[in-house]
Amino acid sequence: MRLDLKNLINYHDEQISSRFLSDKIGTSAPLTLYAFAANETISNEVSQLQKVFMVLEGQLQVSYATAEREEVATAGELIIVPANEAHNLKALTPCKYFQLELPSNN
């Protein structure tokens, strides 16, 4: 199976689009595609699973609530957020990314 991730999801003005892919590829691991219009955000969230964000297009900012720091990834880069780490997301430009959630080794 071959998937063109950037073309499986589209931008919509002033909103966040998402597409769940786990069923499509036959896995129980949460796999989701997102497309954010510029300046769209997701407020603080915490997961019991480690999150891997792979930016496909644009720029994604991840801010960590407890560490008071930020990371920015562009197309082709990953940001890994440890399990149980409070964080929020912001598209600095129109941004598409792939989110994978995995059990942590810790």
Give the confidence band of 94 by pLDDT, cuts at 50, 70, 90.
very high
The reported pLDDT for the residue numbered 99 is 95
The angle formed by the CA atoms of residues 72, 55 and 105, to the nearest 5 degrees, is 85
Average pLDDT over residues 31-56: 94
Q: Is the pTM of this model over 0.95?
A: no
Give the confidence band of 106 by pLDDT, cuts at 50, 70, 90.
low
Walk across the sheet containing 16-20 and list its strands. Answer: 16-20, 31-36, 95-102, 50-57, 78-81
Query: DSSP secondary-structure letter at 96?
Result: E
The reported pLDDT for the residue numbered 14 is 82
The reported pLDDT for the residue numbered 63 is 96
- The answer on pLDDT for 74 being more than 90 is yes
Per-state percent for the chain, helix, strand, coil, to nearest 5: 10, 50, 40
